[in-house]
Each structure stands twice: as C-alpha cells, then as structure tokens.
Amino acid sequence: MTQVDVALTDYALAAECAVFTYWLARTRAGASEFRLWFVLFFSSISLATVAGGTVHGFFADKSSVGHRILWPATLILIGLAALCGMRVAALMELTGAAARIVNRAALAGFVIYVAVVLWISSAFLVAIIGYFPAMVMLGVSSLTVYRREGEPGFLSGFLGICVTFIAAGVQQMKVDISPRYFNHNSLYHVLQGIGLFMIFVMACAICRNKRMSQAVRDIAERAIDPEPQVRT
C-alpha cells in the first residue's frame, strides 16, 4: 500500500461518515426533509473518502486505470456533498422564490463542476473551490439560526464549518506533521473528521429536537405561503 497514512485516515473518515449516515437514517422523529439531505451529505462524503483512500493507497500512479476512474469519482462525490449542503442551507433560511433560485443555481453549478472535473482539471483545488460557496452559505445560515434560536447545535455546525475551512487551508499550504508518516493530507482528514462531527451534532439537533423541528417546519411553510392569511 502506498501513502499508508493518507489511505488509512481517508478510510477512518469514511467510517465516521457512514456511522453518521446510519444514525440519521434511523432517526424517525423531526424534520424529514432535513434528515434526507443530511443523509445524502454524509453518505456522499463517506463514498468519496472510500474512493479517495483507495486511490492514495493503491492507485497513486495517475496513469493507472484505478486512478483515472476513482479520482474523478472522488471529486464528483465531494461536489454532490456540496450540493446537499447548499440544499440544507436553503431549507434553513430561504423561502419562496429565493429558495428556488438558490437550488437551481446550486444544481447548475454542480453540472458545471462535474464538467470541469471530467474535461478540464481534476486537481483537488477544484473540489475545494467547488464546495466553498455551499459551506459559506451553510455556515452563515447556521450562525443566523443560532442567533435567532439560541440552540447550541447550530453553533456547533457553524464552528464545524470553520474547522473544515482550516482543514482546506492546511491541505493547500501542505502543513505536515511528518512528511513521511503523517503528511498534510492526513492532517486534513483528521481536521475534516472533527469538523464533520460538529456538523453532525447540528444535524442531530435539527432532526431530533422537537422545538427546532417545528422551527424549520415553520420556515418550510413560509416558503409555500409567505403571507399568512389574516383572520377576521
């Protein structure tokens, strides 16, 4: 196995996200639409890290068939996770036409992103640029709802997103603990694991807390009927 530290931390991240996916999928109470998008979010990351870990561990040679198949798949799955994150952010804060515009823009952006990965560049920087807008929007939405609702779960989500940005910076600046035994990619995975756990805390808070679930249902109702009827 080549790049053992990177592959193993990738697989550990995949296992973590698989647990998150299972936990959320078996949760029946709360806001079902949020649960669906969070399940897709974490499952996409889990599959992406399995594919990425396999590339780092067994197909590091860019000319190999495994690399040519699995690496673009890794980036596309990361883009899918970003699309899910954008959908969650829109559900949290936007209503009516604004939500529809953001969702359509996110889908169009995902299509463009896939085209870039397949035909222009499959550098990991493309993935970071691709998920940056979604994570910014999700972070802003988390902080806004936290300030309004005062629920710690939303603050956890916001801080988790901040950690993912720090992780991306570490990866791009190639900050190593040990170039041979624990390089910048491994450190990136560890920080991502911490950040994703904090986002998972927010997902659980939304999907299991009755009062917060009612709050997000109210947002969804306003998207359908933004101007409530005045009773006489």
In a domain, 228, yes or no: no
pLDDT bucket at 202, cuts 50 / 70 / 90: very high
CA distance 198 to 203: 9
CATH of the domain at 161: 1.20.1070
Among the residue ranges 108-117, 192-201, 202-211, the one predicted with the least confidence is 202-211
The C-alpha atoms of residue 43 and residue 220 are separated, in whole angstroms, by: 24
In a domain, 229, yes or no: no
For the chain, the C-alpha Rg in angstroms (whole number) is 19
Residue 180 has pLDDT above 90, yes or no: no
CA 107, 109, 114, 115 dihedral sign is positive
Which domain does 68 fall in, by range? Answer: 4-222
Query: 227 lies in a domain?
Result: no
User: Rounded distance, CA 226 to CA 6, Å?
Assistant: 48
Question: Looking at the predicted structure, is the pLDDT value of residue 8 above 90?
Answer: yes
Segment 15-38 mean pLDDT: 85
* Cα 129–chain centre separation: 13
**Domain-embedded: residue 63:** yes
208: pLDDT strictly greater than 80:
no
Average pLDDT value over all residues in the chain? 87
Any domain includes 85? yes
Q: Would residue 21 count as lying in a domain? A: yes
Q: Which residues contact 102 (CB under 8 A, 6 or more apart)?
A: 86, 89, 90, 94, 137
Summarize the confidence of residues 87-96 as an average pLDDT.
82
pLDDT at 34 over 80: yes
* Residue 145 binned pLDDT confidence (cut-offs 50, 70, 90): confident
Q: What is the pLDDT of residue 143?
A: 93
For the ranges 71-80, 157-166, 204-213, the lowest mean pLDDT is seen at: 204-213
Q: Is residue 22 part of a domain?
A: yes
d(CA 18, CA 169): 25
Quick check: is 208 in a domain?
yes
pLDDT score of 212: 52
Contacts of residue 19, defined as CB under 8 A and 6 or more positions apart, other chains included, come to none
Residue 119's CB: how many other CB atoms inside 10 A? 9
What total number of domains does the chain contain? 1
Residue 196 confidence (pLDDT) above 70: yes
> What's the pLDDT at 3?
87
| pLDDT tens digit sequence for 46-77 | 999 999 999 999 999 999 999 999 999 999 99
225/70: higher pLDDT: 70
Between 78 and 31, where is the model more confident? Answer: 78
